[in-house]
Amino acid sequence: MLTIVICVGSSCHVRGSDEVAAALEAIIESEKLTDQVELIGAFCMDHCSMGVSIRVGDTIHSGVLPSEAAIFFDREIRPLLTGSAPQ
């Protein structure tokens, strides 16, 4: 199981962490990846930059915008999954 940890600290919240989470959740559900990926929230990751911080494993990605959530998923998450080529 791959865990995507989305920062819901105040900086990230005002920059759209709810929308990023909703967009990622929609991808995970529509592609039936709920047995491979889970989404959880966490407080400030000390990477408060111009966008939402997301931790995957030991890597923190900062600056993810709601409009880029799908691109983020394709670039950073999909390669970590097995058998999840886009439909």
By CB under 6 A, name the binding residues for ligand FES.
7, 9-12, 44-48, 53
User: Who's near 23: CB < 8 A, 6+ residues apart?
Assistant: 66, 69, 70
In contact, 61 and 20? CB cutoff 8 Å: no
Q: What span, in angstroms and rounded, lies between the C-alpha atoms of 74 and 80?
A: 10
Residue 83 C-beta: closest distance to ligand FES, Å: 32
Residue 77 C-beta: closest distance to ligand FES, Å: 18
Residue 38 C-beta: closest distance to ligand FES, Å: 19
Whichever of 5 and 81 has its CB closer to ligand FES, that residue is 5
